[in-house]
Each structure stands twice: as C-alpha cells, then as structure tokens.
Chains A and B, each alone.
Chain A
Amino acid sequence: MSLDELKAPVTDFATDWDHTDPAWVHDPYPIWEKLRTSCPVAHTDRYGGAWFPTTHQMVSDVANDTEHFTSRLVVITNNKYPPNAEAPIGGAPPITSDPPFHQFARRVILPAFAPGPVNALEDQVRALCRKHLDTVAGEDAFDAGLRYAQYISPGVISKMLGFPEADEELFRDFVHLVLDLVDLPIHERGPLFVPMAEYFSAQIEDHLAHPRDDLTNYLLHVEFNGERLSMEHVRGTMVLVLVAGIDTTWSAIGSALWHLAHHPSDLARLVAEPELMPVAVEEFLRFYAPVTMARLVKDDFDFYGWPMKKDDWVLLGFPAANRDPEMFSDADTFVIDRALNRHAAFGLGIHRCIGSNLARMELRVALEEFIARFPKFELTDPTAVTWAPGQVRGPRSIPVRVVA
C-alpha cells in the first residue's frame, strides 16, 4: 500500500493541511494564496498538531523569535520526541540548535562557506557541470533533472566533506529518507536511519585513520578553547551539510531549468544578456524557493491570537513569504530582471542558510553552462514533470527537447 492510500486526502487546507498532499506537492501556490487572503494562519491535527502562517510578516516573526519557538526539530514528521533531539544542541547543529549554543555551532562552519573559500570552488563546479553536459551531448531529448540537475550539488558536497564521489547515489537515498519519507510511522522510519549512521561512522573512522584536507577533517580536529568538538557534534554537522547541501540546490537548479524550458522569452534574454544572470538567480530563488523549515512551539503562546500549544509544529514557509503581495509587487509573476527583491529563500534571522554563497554560485554556474550548451530547449511533456514532496520542493524529472 502506498502512503497516499493510507492518508485521508485534504479537503480543507485551512483546518486540515498536509504538505505531502498531492495537490500541495503539485502546485502549492494557489493553496497558499487562498490561505493568505482568507486565514492567514492554517492549522492541522496531522503530525500531532501543526500551524502554517502564510504572510511574510508572520514568517519573519517566527524565524526571528527564538523565545517562543525552538529549532530542536526542523523537519515535520510523526515524531516530535526523538531521544537525540535535546535542545539546545539538537541532532544536527547548528540547524537544530537554539541560542546560545547555536551561535557557537554556526561559528564553527561559517568560515568554510564564506565567499572567499566558496568563490575558489567555481572552476571545479564549472568542470563538474561540463562533465555532466558531455554525457548528454548529441542527444535530441533527455531528462534535465535526472541527467544534470541532480548531479551538481552532490558532487560539490561530497568533495567538500571528502567522501568518495562514487557514493553519490547513496547520498540521494539519505536525503530522500530525511526529507521525503516524513510521513512514515515512527517504528518504520527509525530503522531506515541505520545504514546512514553506519556510513557516517565509516567515513569518520577513515578520516581519523587517514587525515586529509577537507571539511570532515576540519570538524574532527578543530579546537575551541583547547577542546575538540564532541563526536555527536561532528557527526550531526556532517549529516546536516550533506542533507542541506544536496536536495536544496538540486531543487533550485531543477526549478530554474524547468522554468526556462517553458518560458522561451526568459531563456532568450539570459542567452542574450549573460550579465543579467545574478539578478535572475535571485528571482529564481524567490519564485521557486525550494526550502520550507519548521519549528516547535516552546510553551503555550498566542500568536496573533492563534492559540499555539507547547510542542505544536510550526511550518516556516519561506516560499510562501516570497509570494506575499504585501512584500513584492506582482508577487505571483516571475520577473527576470526584478530589481527590488528582498526574498527570504535562505531563511531570515540567526539560522540564515550557511550554504547561501555556495548555493548561489552553483545555481549561477549550472545555468550558465547549461544555456551555453543548449541556448534553446523546451519541455517535451509538461505532464511528465514530477515534484519532490515535503519541505524541500523541486522538480525531479524534467524531460526536455533540444531545439535547433
């Protein structure tokens, strides 16, 4: 039996929403728009109780309010109480950490993702993109998701962590488990994590036996006030970097390619005006923001009058905030040269995406290389495009035809 058969379909998103419902997965924007104008804080009893504020102001308020909301868990599942998720550190610091520990855990990895080190990776990323484009050379039609978009970020992240490139397929499985299979009952979901835990143990052992210059090595050896990080901290941050670095950027690259495949005038403009790319990248990020996060309510608390209870989930919809007309003119229109674009795709406040410089660079380079090779392409079958469910949203299959 598939998951969809187990669950009751959603008939009212204001009182019974589910972010894995097929309608939401396929096209969430009309749903959010309706909630924003009529609600604007939706609730569901699913997952043990969860809220979904839909305005930019409210999303910003939740993201900036670490008094009332904890990041102990940021992916909604049926289990709010896994034993490893003790505040303020959490299972995957810094994303699962609260202040004051959060600041330390963030400080540990920020330097590796600052613009300097990230810019130095650009040539490698470009070479990786070209390598994958070479594999489709000469084909009239191919899947831009499965043959291109999905390969870029795993290649970059495995290199940073110092994991074998050949293991990429495994990483996509791990990500799928953490981010997509969120609706399984606890007793089914738990055991699925064993292979991932074993993989990370093996990598840590290998790095301890054979030290080399990569992020894993740095995490294992870095000292603050004469002390190394705990093994749980090292492992949690490694898992975070792998999971946060792969699906997110892959989804962003995929959405942008999907957009260009059915908006020929935007594609033509980018080909003709390469200098527009950085501005276009921000609009791709706003319009197709792939990442939605979550918080748990710390104690009973009235949020704009909505009675939130201790341990309720709050879905933190950065993608919904990015479509709020209060914040953006023509919010539901993709404007490739949008000059005023205060989007929240990388989050707001203290958890701002640590990988944002890297993600932007990957997105820009992946698009530059793709359109240099294929200045004209289109969707072969719009109905064949499939979207990842859950809190990271992007197209998986993007069948395209090269236009002569």
Chain B
Amino acid sequence: MKVVIDGELCQGQGRCFSIAPSLFGFDDLGDGVVLGDGTLTAETLDLARLAQANCPEHAIFIEESS
C-alpha cells in the first residue's frame, strides 16, 4: 500500500503533517508532501487513514501498490 497526495486538490490545510509527521511533510508554500516513497506498513496504514479522514480537501489517497 502507498499513500499519495493529489497536488491539484491539496490547498495546504496542514492536517496531514500535524497528524502524521512521520508520513507527511510540507513544501516552501505549505502544501503537504509525502515523505519518501509513501510505502505503508501494517503499522503506518492506520495513521495514513487517519490523516486521510481529516483532510478537508479529500486530497489524500491510499493505493494498492502493484
């Protein structure tokens, strides 16, 4: 599983990087960015889902990685 942020939808609300600083950071304009390649483990999946469920812009997606 992989977490991604849709840069078109992200408006820099800042919820992801405060809820899950181990998974998300921010760029110079304050938009959220996925740290590393976004691969989720059994331990980090729930955290990613929590961030996803709190994103006001619905900009976070969790994908099955092939």
Contacts and interface: CB of A to CB of B under 8 A. Distances in A.
A110 B10 CA distance: 14
Interface stretch (A238-246, A292-300, A346-354): A346-354
Interface size class of B (residues with CB under 8 A): 10 to 19
Interface in B8-62: 11-15, 17-18, 26-30, 50, 53-57
Contact of B12 (A110, A341, A342, A344): A110
Interface stretch (A111-119, A131-139, A304-312, A377-385): A111-119
A340 interface: yes
B49 to A, nearest CB: 10
Contact of A342 (B14, B18, B55): B55
Nearest to B30: A114
A126 to B, nearest CB: 18
Q: What 9 A-B pairs have minimum CB-CB distances, sorted nearest first?
A: A114-B30, A352-B11, A110-B29, A115-B26, A342-B56, A340-B53, A111-B28, A357-B14, A342-B54
Given A114-B26, A115-B26, A349 B11 contact: yes
26 contacts: A107-B29, A110-B29, A110-B30, A111-B29, A113-B30, A114-B29, A114-B30, A115-B26, A115-B30, A116-B26, A116-B28, A282-B15, A282-B54, A340-B53, A341-B54, A342-B53, A342-B54, A342-B55, A342-B56, A346-B56, A348-B56, A348-B57, A352-B11, A356-B14, A357-B30, A360-B14
Given A107-B29, A115-B17, A115-B26, A350 B56 contact: no
Contacts of B27: 114
Nearest to A339: B50
Contacts of A343: 56
Contacts, number: 51
Interface string A157-181: 0000000000000000000000000
A339 B57 CA distance: 17
B12 to A, nearest CB: 6
A278 interface: yes
B43 to A, nearest CB: 18
Contacts of B55: 342
Nearest to A64: B57
A113 B55 CA distance: 19
Given A340-B53, A342-B53, A356 B13 contact: yes
Nearest to B55: A342
Interface in A68-82: none
Interface in A333-377: 339-344, 346, 348-350, 352, 356-357, 360
A116 B26 CA distance: 9
A114 B53 contact: no
Nearest to A107: B29
Contacts of A342: 53-56
Contacts of B13: 346, 352, 356
A357 B55 CA distance: 15
Nearest to A111: B28
A55 to B, nearest CB: 15
Given A111-B29, A282-B54, A352-B13, 7 more contacts: A114-B28, A115-B14, A278-B18, A344-B56, A346-B56, A348-B57, A352-B12
Contacts of A113: 30
